[in-house]
Amino acid sequence: MLVKKYEARDMHQAMDDIVKELGSEAVILNSRKIRKKGLINLFAKPLVEVMVAYEPKKPRETPRKTPAALREAAREAYSPYMGDTAAAEPAYPIKSATAPKEAPLPPPPNVTALPLNQLPPPPTKVTPLPLNTAPLPSKITPLPLNAVPPTPKERPVLMPVSVERLNDIDSRIDSLDHVLNDFIYKFAHIKRDVTYDFSPEVEQLVLAMCENQVREEVALPLAKEAEEILKTRKDAKAYEVIYHLLLENLGASLPIASKKYKQKIVLFLGPTGVGKTTSLVKLASAFAINHKKRVGIINTDTYRIAAHEQLRTYADILDIPLGIAYRMEEIEQVLEEMSERDLIFIDTAGKRPGDPQHQHDINQIISLAKPEEIFLCLAATTCFSAVREVVDTYAFAGDYKLIITKLDETRYHGMILNTVNYAKKPLAYVTTGQNVPDDLEIADCEALAKQILER
């Protein structure tokens, strides 16, 4: 088994080359995309490298022919020239040592045999050359013995390049590649309107917003509005104008407002894995420890055992009652047992977006518990397409507030502006770690606006 490597423009061409040279029995071991080194190949399309294993073909052995087979082949080859006698005997019979000598054949009639040393005279008629045929030179002048043939044009001598010089060239090419990729990445975010030209200050701020993952549909209208303001207000600065426009879009944060002598029920919603249960525990701990409120927790997420154990552990540490509703009918009973509590937090199961059964269950919980506040939890690391799907899924919940979790796991905060702009819902809290209850803060929109404009 031998191994051979092929390089081609694409996989289709590589397969054609393999089949033409090795046949269809070759086995592909590996394939990958490669880019040749050198400045000339910097912008070239990458090639496809295919590693193939194959068995070498054995040469066919030609069977040896017997003398009889050789005579038969000679008879077939020369039969057109020998007439009817070819079928009876070979044109050139092989002499045998024991065979008698045969007399020479007589000459055919009306033909005079010439002696061997006498040749017929040359023909007197000369056929003229065609008009388009050049006559041959009558005399060829030989080269003198001391003549030297012309030397070919000398090629330039290439000086050898040291390994250090090659490494330096490679490092410069890599550096140039990084610079070009960074340039393309930055300006690929902005599909600029050819009918609108931004000032340099505004363009830098737009670029900063796009680098922080703010969508074009959000950043460009802000920039255009800022340009209109700057035209009428000569004393205004681009940063201050866009900063205040961001504050208007983020809105004011709306945390939980507890009421004295009146119970408040808070419901938590969100997909799986965004930190919904941890955020609930942080808020319950903050109100129980810092605000001295009587807090209760109800768990309706009976699908995950880990969620119940997590709530049970924190409830025992904080001395908070924990109620479990295995069926929807039990929610009213658990609420009645906690009638003396100031704040009741209800945890729900996280399901995939668009699950009709999950939507039915949440509607039942809302109908039975009648929560005054609803929070939708979303992770700051979620892409906008997933955010849009979650927001559309929980649109049936009506008025709710946003809790952005895992803010410590990313440095790009444009997702918060995108979410607020799409959902049209206010911010309430952000979480910045796993510590309970420390890593939970009321959303600071001024700090978020500054972070979105940072580069």
Residue 70 in domain: no
Q: Are residues 192 and 338 in the same domain?
A: no
Q: Are residues 208 and 329 in the same domain?
A: no
Q: Are residues 324 and 298 in the same domain?
A: yes
Residue 412 in domain: yes
Q: Report the DSSP beta bridge partners of residue 49.
A: 7, 32
pLDDT tier at 19 (50, 70, 90 boundaries)? confident
Cis peptide before 437 (omega within 30 of 0): yes
Q: Compute the distance between CA of residue 327 and CA of residue 412 in angstroms, rounded to an integer.
A: 41
Closest among 185, 348, 341 to 280, alpha carbons compared: 348
Q: Are residues 286 and 431 in the same domain?
A: yes
* 279-327 pLDDT tens trace: 998 999 999 888 888 999 998 876 665 666 778 888 888 888 988 888 8
Q: Compute the distance between CA of residue 261 and CA of residue 431 in angstroms, rounded to an integer.
A: 29
Q: Compute the distance between CA of residue 207 and CA of residue 230 in angstroms, rounded to an integer.
A: 18
User: Measured between alpha carbons, how far is residue 287 from residues 291, 292, 309, 320, 435 in Å?
Assistant: 5, 6, 21, 11, 15
Whether 206 contacts 220, CB under 8 Å: yes
> What is the domain range of residue 27?
2-54
Q: Are residues 374 and 308 in the same domain?
A: yes
- Structural domain tally of the chain? 3
Residue 80 in domain: no
Average pLDDT, integer, range 192-205: 70
- Report the amino acid identity of residue 29: L
- Report the amino acid identity of residue 306: A
* 27-43 pLDDT tens trace: 777 788 887 766 666 66
Residue 87 in domain: no
Q: Are residues 286 and 391 in the same domain?
A: yes
Residue with token string 């008025």: 399
Q: Are residues 321 and 371 in the same domain?
A: yes
Q: Are residues 312 and 441 in the same domain?
A: yes
CA 450 to chain centre: 32
Residue 90 in domain: no
* 161-174 pLDDT tens trace: 666 777 777 777 87
Query: What value does the mean pLDDT of the chain take?
Result: 78
Global confidence as pTM: 0.57
Examine the fold and report which residue of 221, 250, 279 is the final residue of a domain before the chain moves on: 250
Q: Compute the distance between CA of residue 387 and CA of residue 422 in angstroms, rounded to an integer.
A: 9
Q: Compute the distance between CA of residue 39 and CA of residue 166 in angstroms, rounded to an integer.
A: 12
End-to-end CA gap in the chain? 57
Query: Between 163-188 and 200-211, two packed helices, what is the crossing angle to 10 degrees?
Result: 100
User: What percent of the chain stands above pLDDT 90?
Assistant: 22
Q: Are residues 215 and 353 in the same domain?
A: no
Say if residue 76's pLDDT is above 50: yes
User: Measured between alpha carbons, how far is residue 207 from residues 190, 250, 293, 452 in Å?
Assistant: 8, 19, 46, 11
Q: Are residues 444 and 366 in the same domain?
A: yes
Burial level of 38, CB count in 10 A (0-12/13-18/19+)? exposed
Q: What DSSP element (H or E) covers 389?
A: helix 384-393
pLDDT score recorded for residue 146? 58
Q: Are residues 281 and 368 in the same domain?
A: yes
**Number of helical (H) and strand (E) elements in the chain, helices listed first:** 13, 11
Q: Is the dihedral of CA 303, 305, 307, 312 positive or negative?
A: positive
Residue 394: which residues within 8 A CB-CB, separation 6 or more?
A: 269, 362, 376, 400
Pair type for strands 27-34 and 47-54 = antiparallel
